């Protein structure tokens, strides 16, 4: 499923994407960071945002976020879900094996 353009995302989805981009940047900067950044506030914020998603949100997004597959969730929100490799469940679409 191709995601709508950024301006068609819900506010929660935009906030999740912003947090995922911040997490991605922090993780990539870790090898050179001294002291290492505290990622716990980012994970806490993501957990809070995920709880705000409606039950009818994109099932792939819910699947990725509930399994803490943050890179996959980021790619989906960026409209790049086709770049996501198949997971251990064997499919990008939850419930289909």
**Can you give the residue ranges of every domain in the chain?**
6-81
Q: Are 97 and 40 in contact (CB under 8 A)?
A: no
Q: Are 81 and 92 in contact (CB under 8 A)?
A: yes
As a whole number of angstroms, the distance between CA 59 and CA 52 comes to 14
Q: Are 37 and 43 in contact (CB under 8 A)?
A: no
Sign of CA dihedral 9, 12, 14, 19: negative
Each of the 97 residues of the chain gets a pLDDT tens digit; together they read 444 555 688 999 999 999 999 999 999 999 998 999 899 999 999 999 999 999 999 999 999 999 999 999 999 999 998 899 877 765 555 444 3
């Amino acid at each position: 499923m191709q995601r709508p353009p950024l301006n068609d995302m819900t506010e929660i989805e935009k906030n999740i994407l912003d947090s995922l981009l911040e997490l991605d940047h922090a993780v990539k900067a870790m090898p050179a960071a001294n002291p290492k950044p505290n990622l716990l506030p980012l994970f806490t914020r993501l957990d809070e945002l995920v709880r705000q998603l409606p039950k009818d949100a994109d099932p792939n997004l819910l699947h990725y976020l509930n399994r803490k597959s943050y890179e996959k969730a980021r790619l989906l929100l960026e409209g790049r879900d086709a770049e996501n490799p198949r997971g251990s469940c064997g499919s990008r679409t939850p419930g289909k094996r």
